[in-house]
Amino acid sequence: MSDLSRPSGPKIIAIANQKGGVGKTTTTINLAAALVEQKQRVLVIDLDPQGNASTGLGIELDDREFTTYDLLLEDIDLDQVIMTTETEGLHIVAATVDLSSADMELIANEKRSFLLHDALRQTQMDSYAFDYILIDCPPSLNLLTVNAMIAAHSVLVPLQSEFFALEGLSQLMLTIREVRQSGNKDLRIEGILLTMYDQRNNLSQQVEQDARSNLGELVYRTVIPRNVRVSEAPSYAMPVLSYDSGSKGAKAYRDLAKEVLANSAV
Confidence class of residue 253 from pLDDT cuts 50, 70 and 90?
A: very high
Q: What percent of the chain has pLDDT over 70?
A: 97
pLDDT greater at residue 156 or residue 123: 156
pLDDT of amino acid 134: 98
pLDDT (tens digit per residue) in 162-196: 877 777 788 899 999 999 999 999 999 999 999 99
Secondary structure, 3-state, 198-257: CCCCHHHHHHHHHHHHHHHHHEEEEEEECCHHHHHHHHHCCCHHHHCCCCHHHHHHHHHH
Average pLDDT over residues 119-148: 94
| pLDDT per residue as tens digits for the range 4-54 | 444 568 999 999 998 888 999 999 999 999 999 999 999 999 999 999 999
Across 38-42, 140-144, 216-220, 259-263, least confident range: 140-144
pLDDT digits 0-9 by tens, 71-104: 999 878 888 999 999 999 999 999 999 998 888 8
Q: pLDDT class for 266, splitting at 50, 70, 90? A: low
The runs of H, that is alpha helices, within 74-221 are 78-81, 102-107, 115-119, 143-151, 169-182, 202-215
Whole-structure pTM value: 0.94
Q: What is the pLDDT of residue 10?
A: 95
Q: What is the mean pLDDT of residues 242-249?
A: 94
Q: Which of 187, 247, 266, 238 is nearest to 36 (CA)?
A: 238
Q: What are phi and psi of 9, to 5 degrees?
A: -80, -165
